[in-house]
Amino acid sequence: MKVAAVLVPLYAILAGAGGFLLRSRELANVFDPITGLPARGALTTVVLIAFTVTNLLAIIAFAAYTTTRRKSPTGFENTFGTDPMFYPILFVIIGIVWLVGTYLLFDSLRLADELSLTYIYFLILSGLAAICVSVFAIEMFQDCRRKASYALSLVPTVFLCFWLISLYVQNATNPVLTSYVYQIFAVATAALAFYFTSGFIYGRSAPGRAVASYYASIYFSAVTLADDIHIGQKLIFAAIIAASLVHLSVMLRHLSLKESTMSDMPA
């Protein structure tokens, strides 16, 4: 699927850019600057929702095709092509961006004297996730048989689950769902993306679900970049986008036709 390995990530980037522009327009024109309440039935909000649903349905259809017609090679290293040097290099860069975002958030909270226990847990887990993303990629490049390193792939998922819970707690009393729902979706789909990536390591590959989660992670993270959140969090979302793009592209590149599908093809 070499063509899809280029076109699908490109489609995700373009869709994310479109969602980002619509979200930026919504935040600028739909929400009241004083009360924070959105205008009821605003056209921009409706268009953004319709745009989001349409793109998700399209990628779900492609994911269904991937599930029924394609299979991944045996082994994480064969599915994600961890042998070439570019894989660890890219993820070291991604990890650095993630760490920088974590530090900037820490520094801002420290200066504002807002380092609550929840934020401390968040920053510790975020830093560990950033380090594990890079170290795991290096381990897979050096020797993919080191099973002790497999646990490193689970740390980002744990961090993102904690982040998801924190977002829910922070917004539990917020009646304006549209003010934070895209952040919820971004973190949730990112957690799924890293979770399904780990599945390839533990022999539970699910290419279709991985495609859908990578795409959704890219899209919702891109939309969330328009939100009024700290620059550190935006850098973390940018790192997540980059990680999902790399995994989406290299995985699609290495998928092959299932044997049953090949036998159905005319001679």
What does the pLDDT read at residue 261?
52
Q: Which of 77-86, 116-125, 159-168, 206-215 has the lowest average pLDDT?
A: 77-86
Residue range 159-173: mean pLDDT, rounded: 92
What does the pLDDT read at residue 218?
97
What does the pLDDT read at residue 263?
46
Give the mean pLDDT of the chain. 89
Out of 11-15, 81-85, 139-143, 262-266, the most confident range is: 11-15
Q: Give burial (CB, 10 Å; 0-12/13-18/19+) of 46.
A: exposed
Residue range 103-108: mean pLDDT, rounded: 96
Residue range 176-190: mean pLDDT, rounded: 94
What does the pLDDT read at residue 173?
84
What does the pLDDT read at residue 51?
97
Q: Which long-range contacts (CB under 8 A, 24 or more apart) does 126-131 make?
A: 126/98, 126/101, 126/102, 126/159, 126/163, 126/236, 127/99, 127/102, 128/155, 128/159, 129/98, 129/155, 129/156, 129/158, 129/159, 129/160, 130/95, 130/96, 130/98, 130/99, 130/102, 130/239, 131/95, 131/99
What proportion of the chain, given as a percentage, has pLDDT over 70?
93
**Domain count within the chain:** 1
Residue range 158-162: mean pLDDT, rounded: 96
Domain that includes residue 159, residue range: 4-264
pLDDT category at 148 given cuts 50, 70, 90 is low
- In this predicted structure, the answer to whether residue 221 has a pLDDT above a threshold of 50 is yes
Q: Which of 74-78, 193-197, 244-248 has the lowest average pLDDT?
A: 74-78
**Total-model pTM:** 0.92
pLDDT category at 36 given cuts 50, 70, 90 is confident
Residue range 211-222: mean pLDDT, rounded: 97
What does the pLDDT read at residue 266?
47
What does the pLDDT read at residue 183?
96
- Note whether 226 and 27 are within 8 A (CB): yes
- In this predicted structure, the answer to whether residue 188 has a pLDDT above a threshold of 90 is yes
Give Cβ neighbours of residue 66 (< 8 Å, ≥ 6 apart). Answer: 207, 208, 211, 255
